[in-house]
Amino acid sequence: MDGILLQILNGLDKGSAYALIALGLTLIFGTLGVVNFAHGALFMLGAFCAVTLSRIISLSYETIDPNRLDFLGNPAKINTPYVYDFFGPNMGASIIDWAVPLSILFAIPMMMLIGIAMERGLIKHFYKRPHADQILVTFGLAIVLQEIIKFYYGANPIPTPAPAALVGTFDFGAMLGLNPGTVLYPYWRLVYFLFSVVLIGGVFAFLQFTTFGMVVRAGMADRETVGLLGINIDKRFTIMFAIAACVAGLAGVMYTPINSPNYHMGMDFLVLSFVVVVVGGMGSLPGAVLAGFVLGILESFASTPAATSIVPGINQIIIYLVAIVILLTRPRGLMGRKGVMEE
Amino acid sequence: MSKFDLSRRGVLKTGAVAGAGLALPTVFTSGASAFTNEPGPGSVTLGFNVPQSGPYADEGADELRAYYLAVEHLNGEGDGGMLNTFSSKVLDGTGILGRKVEYVTGDTQTKSDAARASARSMIEKDGAIMITGGSSSGVAVAVQALCQEAGVIFMAGLTHSNDTTGKDKKANGFRHFFNSYMSGAALAPVLANAYGTDRKAYHLTADYNWGYTTEEAVRNSTEAMGWSTVEAVKTPLAATDFSSYIAPVLNSDADVLVLNHYGGNMVNSLTNAVQFGLRDRMVNDKNFEIIVPLYSRLMAKGAGANVKGIFGSTNWHWSLAQGFTTPDGTAVAPDAASAAFVKSFGEKYGFPPSQAAHTCYVQTILYADAVTRANSFNPCDVAAAMEGFEFDGMGNGKTTYRAEDHQCFKDVLVVRGKENPTSEFDLLEVVEVTPAEQVTYDASIFGGDLGTCNPGA
């Protein structure tokens, strides 16, 4: 029981990342009809927004400490962050400590700008091109983006810890009357799950309850008719692309304390996220979210020693096996709509 | 008939002349070049085959820095680095056998096929007479086999699997870096001393060659000390989130987690293990502990504060240059060779070298030294000069290049993540220098056949 509960929890945070990326992918596909293979790179860019802000906040000036020596035996250079001088050492240390959550404020405008630049600068030229062309150009863009990040930040993972107040584990075992200490779950993963629920809820509410969202949904259903009504649907779709980029970016920002970001992290999620989109149903936003969580949980269970001892390697193929079964039994995915990619 | 006879004679004559004509260039060639890529009188070209892209690109960059430094020192530029401390004194800063050292570089991408392609290109197009480098055992084994076929010497860079000089050893290949067996042999006594002999270990092992040999080595060594192994789980090399693998550890009665991971795998699995509070747990009335058998400073940097207090092993560490005091109070004096290398490298690049950089620098110097002592670039003469070669002054104390498997035997460092680092480089502290005798093993235990040296051509 303890193990099952723990794997469900693990699946939730993994599923959160899948769901957020898949949600953005589906938004872009549903609005612009573009298969965006650069979406994983947007997740990675979001994570590097956190790294960048963390570095900006930690910008320091050097002083020489004659009492300490560096690795060459010279007087050591001591770095003191400017925020210590601006806000005092305690407040300065707290600001640096909370760099990841603060990065959300930095990432939102950055990712919106990146999204608009991507859509206006490159992707709009491929609206009327076959999906194969879109895949090639966006995949190429993803590689370019990750190489740029590698050039400036290196290939090694960069530690980006959670605030000290959110380091530690929550004992679900003790809370539920099970053995204490057997169902421990890191606070930050809990934060990540809750954050993703709020973000997903926010996107759905935006689409459901705002006029802008209503127009976008109408455009997704019948782009031509909305255009004939005199509404500049292209402009709204560009904004939706920026919002999708922002969702992926924020997913990346909050993921950095879970795994140290590196230039390749987007690619690690990209293929799985596409499987999530297909399993959920192309163009279906609830389907993407549902499939994200379901596949995340299944992947967690498949990684247990019990599962791998019965079927060796099941942890590496479970998502694809499920995808095959679902596509055989429900060709449009879990919540796919008729007519999407069927022409 | 007579016509036929004449024709037959004519054919025989023509055949003889043609045969001689065809053989002539070969005779001259083999006389002029008895081995692959024999250098001319002016310069000699070495091939540095390192990951310049992919997940180990930073490690590859550090390896390249070390190679550039070695070339400088061999050509008489810079301060000479470890040439000044090396026990062999045949290198005089005039290149190798009077030829200026030049180099070409290749990108292994940490992929065996790409590494073989770049090594082949350096041998066939650029005339490299020796290939060196690598940050992966799979790549090292693949390139070593290629060098054996091509008839050039391969001086392995960072490769830790037993197989490189075990079942996949080759007569043309040499490894200075230590291996999984040595890590296990060095770590086990320190672990028994720190954590006791009644421990239950849970292994998470990267699902590839290096992971298997490391798990085997650590299991054998720790079980011999009295530990038991509760579970050993293979994790996919492509895994990024290890939470699903760590969760079952919570429900086992293991009190030690051994992470047989390297690179990004190590950074992520260690980060995840610490996140799940494993280090704060009490199991079997003991503190739960985590072990990382192979440490690298570059990887430790990626894991950040999570490495604090965690034991592992390493081939070399820059802090040897400054000397240190082990936890039991033993003062270890600064190592002059390490100090020379750290000074050269640090002044040129602004930060201390990694263990990958160290082994690559040493391998280049050792190759040049062997050529000079053999007075020949012929790979078989060079191999003979290297086999059984005993030396000192290269940062690891007295070292022997064992003839039977071309593996270096030297002291191994057991390190621990530092609790209070003073700089971004000061992440590991040496807790014990395990003497070479303690990590030496019979050359036959891993099987394999060295074969015979291939000079190529």
Give the tens place of pLDDT for each residue, B176-223. 999 999 999 999 999 999 999 999 999 999 988 899 999 999 999 999
Q: Which chain A residues in 111-150 lie under 8 Å from chain B, judged by CB atoms?
A: 150
For tokens 């091939």, the residue is B47
> Can you read off the two tokens belonging to residue B308?
């604090």
Residues B118 and B190 in one domain: no
The pLDDT assigned to B4 comes to: 44
The total number of residues shown for chain B amounts to: 457
| A151 pLDDT higher than 70 | yes
What are B328's strand-pairing partners? none
Secondary structure tally for chain B: helices H, strands E:
13, 19
Given B241, B299, B305, which is nearest A161 (Cβ)? B305
Does residue B422 belong to the interface with chain A, where contact is any CB pair within 8 Å?
yes
Does residue B420 belong to the interface with chain A, where contact is any CB pair within 8 Å?
no
CA distance B166 to chain A (A): 27
Q: Which residue of A has its CA nearest to B344?
A: A72
Distance CA A182, CA A5 (A): 10
Does residue A202 belong to the interface with chain B, where contact is any CB pair within 8 Å?
no
Name the band, by pLDDT with cuts 50, 70 and 90, for residue B1: very low
Residues B265 and B347 in one domain: no
Is residue B25 one of the residues assigned to a domain?
Answer: no
CA dihedral A108, B305, A186, A170 (to 10 degrees): -130
Q: What's the mean pLDDT in B337-362?
A: 96
Helix (H, G, I), strand (E, B) or coil at B194: helix
Q: Which residue of A has its CA nearest to B340?
A: A72
Contact A191, A254 (CB under 8 A): yes
Does residue A248 belong to the interface with chain B, where contact is any CB pair within 8 Å?
no
Does residue A299 belong to the interface with chain B, where contact is any CB pair within 8 Å?
yes
B247–A7 C-beta distance less than 8 A: yes
Name the band, by pLDDT with cuts 50, 70 and 90, for residue A343: low
The H-assigned helical ranges of B130-263 are 137-150, 180-195, 209-224, 243-250
> Can you read off the two tokens belonging to residue A326?
């679902």
For tokens 């990887």, the residue is B299
B322–A71 C-beta distance less than 8 A: yes
Residues B293 and B204 in one domain: yes
Domain ranges of chain A: 2-329
List, for residues A53-68, the tens digit of each pLDDT value. Answer: 999 999 999 999 888 8
| A107 pLDDT higher than 50 | yes
Is residue B292 one of the residues assigned to a domain?
Answer: yes
List, for residues A158-188, the tens digit of each pLDDT value. Answer: 999 999 999 999 888 788 887 777 788 999 9
Q: Which chain B residues in 206-235 lie under 8 Å from chain A, judged by CB atoms?
A: 231, 233-234
Given A10, A184, A265, which is nearest B244 (Cβ)? A10
ipTM of the complex: 0.85
Is residue B266 one of the residues assigned to a domain?
Answer: yes
Structural domain ending residue among the three candidates B261, B285, B314: B314
Contact A251, A196 (CB under 8 A): yes
Q: Give the range among B2-16, B95-109, B314-328 with minimum mean pLDDT.
A: B2-16
Is residue B193 one of the residues assigned to a domain?
Answer: yes
Residues B49 and B154 in one domain: yes
Residues B152 and B204 in one domain: no
CA B39 to chain centre: 26
Q: Which chain B residues in 102-161 lie under 8 Å from chain A, judged by CB atoms?
A: none
> Can you read off the two tokens belonging to residue A241?
């692309």
Distance CA A131, CA A29 (A): 11
Is residue B72 one of the residues assigned to a domain?
Answer: yes
Does residue A62 belong to the interface with chain B, where contact is any CB pair within 8 Å?
no
| B27 pLDDT higher than 60 | no
CA pseudo-torsion sign B314, B318, B320, B323: negative
- Parallel, antiparallel, or unpaired for β B412-417 and A60-69? unpaired
The range of the structural domain enclosing residue B400 comes to 43-178+334-409
B370: domain CATH number is: 3.40.50.2300
Q: Which residue of A has its CA nearest to B266?
A: A157
Q: What's the mean pLDDT in A236-249?
A: 92
Given B248, B268, B306, which is nearest A3 (Cβ)? B248
Phi and psi (nearest 5°) for A308? -70, -20
